[in-house]
Structure 1
């Protein structure tokens, strides 16, 4: 049985949103993340912070979704920043070259500072 993915979306500025992701990211769950992130980008939130602190595992499908969201954001002059990466998630994202392609920070606060939206959320 696949664990359920939970996503908490928080808008922290006119062009920035934070997605707090809880649960595994795999082929069964990543369509939910893609739909949520793409919806935010379509609504003008072209800077996305994905907080992966509560994600214990991910597979290549998740890496693909991170890169898809990155491209959607870049089309609107935005970007995706990943935070809270550790353990198995970090190793998978290193193997798939997501780390090195996308910006990463230790935590959401640092990501918002990087995006120039700290203090707005």
Structure 2
């Protein structure tokens, strides 16, 4: 069995950030998906996954990310990635997923990009 760590590092209204470490494979992908869907179900449909600690991700991990993204979108939310390791970033580019899963250098940049902006009413 592989070790996967999942820590909710931030919740603010509809936005939540999870920090993930370890390997995402056939053994750990279901736990990642369940944890992320639980956070979405708790009222945080805009999810940021900080992948700083990911050491490995196979096709089950990509499938888990797709499933999480679909569930977030079904809840009128989004999936944003932060600190994507180079190897995973290349896989996302090759599969075309990088076009539907925006990524940022870190969690703070991702949170700033995903926070709703309020525009002043015209006068």
Aligned to 1:32: 31
Q: Please give the alpha-carbon distance, in whole angstroms, between the structure 1 residues aligned to 2:87 and 2:22.
A: 13
Aligned to 1:70: 69
Helix, strand or coil for the counterpart of 2:68?
A: helix
Aligned to 1:52: 51
Aligned to 1:15: 14
* Contact 1:15-1:45 at 8 Å conserved across structures: yes
Structure 1 residue runs of 5 or longer lacking an equivalent are none
Structure-to-structure mapping, 1:83-102, within 5 angstroms: 83-102=82-101
Q: Please give the alpha-carbon distance, in whole angstroms, between the structure 2 residues aligned to 1:59 and 1:99.
A: 16
Q: Please give the alpha-carbon distance, in whole angstroms, between the structure 1 residues aligned to 2:10 and 2:87.
A: 28
Could you list the runs of 4 or more consecutive aligned residues of structure 1 that deviate by over 3 angstroms after TM superposition? none
* Contact 1:59-1:92 at 8 Å conserved across structures: no
Structure 2 residue runs of 5 or longer lacking an equivalent are 117-123
* CA RMSD of superposed structures (Å): 1.4
